[in-house]
Structure 1
Amino acid sequence: MESGYQEQFERVKRYFERFKKINEGKQHNQSSPHHDDDVYAFFQNCYHLKDWVKNDKSCSKWSCVEAFIESNSNLRICADLCNSLKHLKLNDRTRSNKKPEFSGSNTSINIDEGFSQQTEVGISISYKIKTVDGDINAFDLAKKCVDIWEIYINSNKKTSAKS
């Protein structure tokens, strides 16, 4: 089992995979609030990876994680989403100044009667985030956040290895 920041990053990636299945389509075997929980958990775990990096001694020589988040508009939106989910609403102290909030979703149901005796029912849900600049796709934001965390982690691991 991974330890330190790696444990949290692996958790982020697992929630991302759940989100990906919800976005692209999966068997419809649970109610919508379960899907919402997985999406919300992604953003909460993604943002809080910073705390694991800050508290992991193996990351002590890494570049400042707070500055990293401040330098990336996608992670700032992720931070605001996380904090709004944690506190019911976003307070006046935001990172992104975009006032992001989940503002609905588009659900598609796929019924495949096929040749088998069993009918397969699938679902895909596309979540929307409203910002002051317009709507964004939540899965696209999630993908960008995972990608930028990968870059941050890999670049710091290389820098630490050279030290």
Structure 2
Amino acid sequence: MEYYRAIVQYQFNKLKLIREGIYPECGGNIEVELYTFFILCYHLKDWIINENPECKSLIEVKVNKFIKESSVLKICDQICQTIKHRKLTAKQWKYSTPINFKLSSVMTIGPPGMMSEASLKNAQITTERGEECCFSLAEECMNEWNRYFLENGINNL
């Protein structure tokens, strides 16, 4: 699980650089970087569940309960399901009902360098909580998983 947690942290660190106005080394597609973070972040649950095969079903119940009670991790789930299925039915939502998911177009292709403030402001998503900044949402997700690890006695990276 530590390996996967490190991958999620790595992707989150890339978002912090993007928010500071620096393109990631691999290019400047902000939308893909955001989607990648939310997919990796949500699927951290699978690594937690499968970490200890002897307690898998107990851990699965605990993790799913944690996500169901977390508004931000439910949104993370909704982003992942939207990316995977494009058009969703109510039964594809594991933790809540469908929301109006929309990520403003923030595709920015170009050489590494500084990104405009306007591009950053467009990284908005409409959720059940209203209009939100994707970068702030990503930070909330990281804080929520850290809370899970702390509450369950799992060492931080």
Please list, as runs of the form range in 1=range in 2, the aligned pairs for 1:115-126 lying within 5 A after superposition: 121-124=113-116, 125-126=119-120
Structure 2: 5+ residue runs without aligned partners? none
In the alignment, the residues of structure 2 paired with residue 7 and residue 59 of structure 1 have an alpha-carbon distance, to the nearest angstrom, of 20
Structure 1: 5+ residue runs without aligned partners? 109-119, 159-163
Deviation at 1:92, TM superposition (A): 1.7
In the alignment, the residues of structure 2 paired with residue 134 and residue 57 of structure 1 have an alpha-carbon distance, to the nearest angstrom, of 37
Deviation at 1:19, TM superposition (A): 1.2
- The residue aligned with 1:55 is 50
Larger Rg: 1
Question: Among 20, 24, 29, which residue is 2:20 paired with?
Answer: 24
Are the equivalent residues in 2 in contact too, given 1:28–1:122 (CA < 8 A)?
no
Residues 28 and 76 of structure 1, relative CA distance in 2, 3 Å threshold: closer
Per the normalisation by structure 2, the TM-score is 0.76
- The residue aligned with 2:73 is 75
Q: Does 1:157 align with 2:153?
A: yes
Deviation at 1:81, TM superposition (A): 0.3
Residues 77 and 97 of structure 1, relative CA distance in 2, 3 Å threshold: same
- The residue aligned with 1:15 is 11
Identity of aligned residues (%): 30
Q: Deviations over 1:40-63 (max 9, x none)?
A: 110001000001111111893757
Residues 27 and 152 of structure 1, relative CA distance in 2, 3 Å threshold: closer
Question: Among 125, 140, 157, which residue is 2:136 paired with?
Answer: 140
In the alignment, the residues of structure 1 paired with residue 53 and residue 2 of structure 2 have an alpha-carbon distance, to the nearest angstrom, of 10
Residues matched between the structures, number: 143
Larger RCO of the pair (alpha carbons < 8 Å, separation 6+)? 2
- The residue aligned with 1:38 is 33
Q: Deviations over 1:115-149 (max 9, x none)?
A: xxxxx941154311112442111111110110010
Residues 59 and 74 of structure 1, relative CA distance in 2, 3 Å threshold: farther
Letter of the 1:40 partner, please give it: Y
Deviation at 1:157, TM superposition (A): 2.0
Deviation at 1:96, TM superposition (A): 3.7
Partner-residue secondary structure (3-state), 1:68: helix
User: Deviating runs (4+, > 4 A) in structure 1?
Assistant: 27-32, 105-108
Higher strand proportion (structure 1 or 2):
1
Per the normalisation by structure 1, the TM-score is 0.73
Partner-residue secondary structure (3-state), 1:26: coil
Residues 14 and 29 of structure 1, relative CA distance in 2, 3 Å threshold: closer
